[in-house]
C-alpha cells in the first residue's frame, strides 16, 4: 500500500506559535481494535468523530492525526468563518443552489458555535463582517456582481469606495469593495485545539501518528498502519483531504495546493494608526489574490502564493509575502514578517468535493477548495450521520456536486501551470 506522507511544512504554524504550548496526546501504539477510525483531526475529522460519538456512544472511536493538533492544515488557514457559502453564496445565476449551500454552511457554523459554547473555550471569535475588495477593472466588476447577489438574497451589505476602504483598513491600494454583515474572524489554531480538547469520551485522539497504509482486515473491516500501531476498525473515515489519494482513492479528482501566510511582528502604536478600524479582514476579488486581516491589537496577517503538489522555498515565500504586504502598506515598509508558514488544501476541477462511500466500511471527504472551516465541519457531521443512520447521500451530493475527473499526468501538471499563468495575469494587482 502506498505511503501517505505528511505535507512538507518547513515552518511551524504562526497561529499556533502565538498560543501557550500544549502537550500532545501520545500516538497509537501496539494493536488496537475499534468500531470507528477517523483519519485526520482537521475540521472534517473532528466533526465526524464528534457526531459518531453522539449517534453511537458505544464506540470506541479512534481519531488519528499525523501531526500535532494546531500544526495541521486546518490550523494554517486565514481564520475567516461565515454562516454562508463562501464560493457561490451570493450567486444570482444559481439562486436555488446558492440558498441550499447557504443552509449547509449555516448548519456547519451553528455546530461550531454550539461546541464552543458547550466547551467553554475561546478562539478570539469576532463578528467583523466580511470585506471583499478589488484593485483591478475585473475585480471591480466582480464586486458589483457580488453586490447584486447580496441584494437578490436579501443579505445586509454596503458598497465601499476607495475613501470608505481607506477609513476602514488604512490603505488606498483598493478601488472599491463590498462588506457583508455576516462574517467572522477567529484564531484557527485555537479553534482546532478547542474542538480537539472537548471531544466526547468515546473518542480517543492519537497525535503524531501518520497513517502509512490501509488494508482489508482478515476478519472484516479495515486495518490501518501507523508505524507504531496497527488499528483495526469496522468502519473508517478518511478525513485527510488530498492525502486520500495516497491510499489509492480519488486520485483522478484531487490535487494538492500549497498556499502561504505570514504574521507581522508586533507593531508600534504609531504604526497601528495606519491599520484602520480595530477588527477587519479582507478577501481579494480574484481567487489568486492576496488576503489580509488585522490580528489582535498590533499585528497584520497576509496570505498569498500557490504551489502545485510541492512547497516553495521558504526564502522565496518570505520575499513574496513581504512584497504583498508592503505594496498595500508602503508606509509600513520597515515592518518585517515574524512568522511565515505554508498550508495545504485540496482543489478539484469544478470546485465540488468528493464525499461519501468509497468501499464497504470505508468513507471519505475531500476537496474543500479552500473553504474548509465551516464546509469541512458540515461535511464531516453529515458523513457520520450517513454512516450511522443511513441518511442518503443524494441531497448533499446534488447540492455540492461531485468533483469531476482531472486529466492524468503529465497533462495535469502542464494544465495547472498554464491555467495558473493565465489566472495570475488576470489577477494583476489583486496579488
Q: Check whether 3 has a pLDDT greater than 60.
A: no
The C-alpha cell that represents 407 in the structure block: 486529466
What count of other Cβ atoms lies within 10 Å of the Cβ of residue 160?
22
- The size of the chain, in residues, is 431
C-alpha closest to that of 198 among 297, 124, 118: 118
Return the higher-pLDDT residue of 328 and 391. Answer: 328
Cα gap 418→431, rounded to integer Å: 17
Cα gap 127→120, rounded to integer Å: 18
3-state class (DSSP) for residue 184:
strand
What is the band of 86 on the pLDDT scale with cuts at 50, 70, 90? confident
pLDDT at 304: 96
**Domain made up of 14-76+190-252+351-415: CATH architecture:** 3-Layer(bba) Sandwich (3.50)
Instruction: Summarize the confidence of residues 89-118 as an average pLDDT.
Output: 94
- For residue 395, the number of C-alpha atoms closer than 13 Å in the C-beta half-sphere is 11
C-alpha closest to that of 283 among 90, 131, 105: 131
The partner residues of 342 in beta bridges, in order of sequence, read 260
3-state class (DSSP) for residue 295:
strand
C-alpha closest to that of 374 among 111, 91, 89: 111
Cα gap 386→73, rounded to integer Å: 25
Pick the CATH number of 126-186+256-348 from 3.20.20.120, 3.20.20.140, 1.10.3720.10, 3.30.9.10: 3.30.9.10
Q: Do the bridges between strand 30-39 and strand 229-238 make them parallel or antiparallel, or are there none, so unpaired?
A: parallel
3-state class (DSSP) for residue 411:
helix
Q: Check whether 1 has a pLDDT greater than 50.
A: no
C-alpha closest to that of 192 among 260, 121, 248, 261: 121
Q: Do the bridges between strand 354-359 and strand 362-366 make them parallel or antiparallel, or are there none, so unpaired?
A: antiparallel
pLDDT at 4: 45
Note the pLDDT tens digit of each residue in 223-271: 999 989 999 999 999 999 989 998 999 999 999 999 999 999 999 999 9
pLDDT at 2: 41
Which residues of the chain form CATH 3.30.9.10?
Answer: 126-186+256-348
What is the band of 5 on the pLDDT scale with cuts at 50, 70, 90? low
Average pLDDT, the chain: 94
CB 182 within 8 A of CB 153: no
CB 14 within 8 A of CB 303: no
Sheet strands (E) in 84-228: 126-127, 130-134, 157-161, 176-180, 184-185, 203-206, 213-216, 222-225
Instruction: Note the pTM of the prediction, 2 decimals.
Output: 0.95
Q: Cis before residue 410, ω within 30 degrees of 0?
A: yes
pLDDT at 185: 97
Note the pLDDT tens digit of each residue in 315-354: 999 999 999 999 999 999 999 999 999 999 988 888 899 9
Instruction: Summarize the confidence of residues 149-169 as an average pLDDT.
Output: 96
Sheet strands (E) in 113-173: 126-127, 130-134, 157-161
The Cα diameter of the chain in Å comes to 68
CB 291 within 8 A of CB 302: yes
The single residue listed with the C-alpha cell 451530493 is: 397
CB 264 within 8 A of CB 325: yes
CB 306 within 8 A of CB 258: yes
Q: Which residues contact 367 (CB under 8 A, 6 or more apart)?
A: 241, 242, 253, 254, 346, 347, 348, 352, 353, 354, 355, 403
Which residues of the chain form CATH 3.50.50.60?
Answer: 14-76+190-252+351-415
Cα gap 261→30, rounded to integer Å: 38
Least confident of 42-51, 68-77, 215-224, 391-400: 391-400
Q: Burial, 360: exposed, middle or buried (Cβ in 10 Å; 0-12, 13-18, 19+)?
A: exposed
Instruction: Summarize the confidence of residues 306-312 as an average pLDDT.
Output: 92
Residue 270, H or E segment:
helix 269-272
The C-alpha cell that represents 4 in the structure block: 501517505
Amino acid at each position: 500500500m502506498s505511503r501517505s506522507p505528511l505535507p512538507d511544512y518547513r515552518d511551524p504554524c504562526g497561529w499556533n506559535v502565538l498560543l501557550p504550548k500544549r502537550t500532545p496526546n501520545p500516538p497509537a501504539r501496539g494493536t488496537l481494535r475499534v468500531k470507528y477510525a477517523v483519519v485526520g483531526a482537521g475540521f472534517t475529522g473532528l466533526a465526524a468523530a464528534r457526531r459518531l460519538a453522539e449517534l453511537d456512544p458505544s464506540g470506541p472511536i479512534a481519531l488519528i492525526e499525523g501531526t500535532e493538533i494546531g500544526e495541521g492544515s486546518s490550523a494554517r488557514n486565514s481564520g475567516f468563518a461565515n454562516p454562508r457559502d463562501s464560493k457561490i453564496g451570493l450567486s444570482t445565476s444559481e439562486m436555488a443552489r446558492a440558498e441550499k449551500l447557504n443552509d449547509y454552511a449555516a448548519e456547519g457554523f451553528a455546530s461550531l458555535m454550539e461546541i464552543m459554547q458547550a466547551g467553554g473555550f475561546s478562539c478570539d471569535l469576532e463578528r467583523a463582517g466580511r470585506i471583499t475588495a478589488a484593485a483591478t477593472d475585473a475585480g471591480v466588476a466582480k464586486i458589483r456582481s457580488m453586490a447584486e447577489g447580496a441584494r437578490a438574497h436579501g443579505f445586509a451589505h454596503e458598497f465601499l469606495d476607495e475613501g470608505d476602504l481607506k477609513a476602514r483598513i488604512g490603505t488606498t491600494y483598493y478601488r472599491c469593495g463590498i462588506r457583508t454583515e455576516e462574517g467572522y474572524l477567529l484564531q484557527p489554531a485555537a479553534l482546532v485545539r478547542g474542538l480537539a480538547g472537548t471531544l466526547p469520551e468515546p473518542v480517543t485522539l492519537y497525535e503524531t501518528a501518520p497513517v502509512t497504509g490501509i488494508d482489508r482486515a482478515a476478519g472484516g473491516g479495515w486495518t490501518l498502519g501507523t508505524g507504531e500501531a496497527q488499528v483495526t476498525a469496522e468502519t473508517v473515515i478518511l478525513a485527510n483531504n488530498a492525502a486520500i489519494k495516497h491510499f489509492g482513492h480519488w486520485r483522478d479528482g484531487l490535487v494538492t495546493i500549497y498556499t502561504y501566510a505570514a504574521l507581522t511582528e508586533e507593531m508600534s502604536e504609531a504604526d497601528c494608526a495606519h491599520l484602520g478600524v480595530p477588527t477587519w479582514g479582507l478577501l481579494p476579488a480574484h481567487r489568486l489574490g492576496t488576503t489580509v486581516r488585522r490580528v489582535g491589537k498590533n499585528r497584520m496577517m497576509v496570505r498569498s502564493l500557490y504551489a502545485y503538489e510541492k512547497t516553495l522555498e521558504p526564502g522565496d515565500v518570505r520575499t513574496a509575502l513581504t512584497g504583498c504586504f508592503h505594496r498595500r502598506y508602503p508606509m509600513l515598509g520597515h515592518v518585517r514578517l515574524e512568522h511565515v508558514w505554508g498550508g495545504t488544501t485540496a482543489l478539484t476541477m469544478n470546485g465540488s468535493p468528493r464525499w461519501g462511500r468509497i468501499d464497504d466500511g470505508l468513507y471519505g471527504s475531500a476537496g474543500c477548495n479552500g473553504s474548509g472551516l465551516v464546509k469541512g465541519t458540515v461535511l464531516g457531521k453529515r458523513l457520520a450521520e450517513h454512516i450511522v443512520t443511513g441518511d442518503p447521500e443524494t441531497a448533499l451530493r446534488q447540492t455540492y456536486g461531485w468533483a469531476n475527473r482531472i486529466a492524468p499526468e503529465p497533462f495535469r501538471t502542464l494544465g495547472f501551470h498554464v491555467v495558473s499563468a493565465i489566472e495570475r495575469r488576470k489577477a494583476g494587482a489583486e496579488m
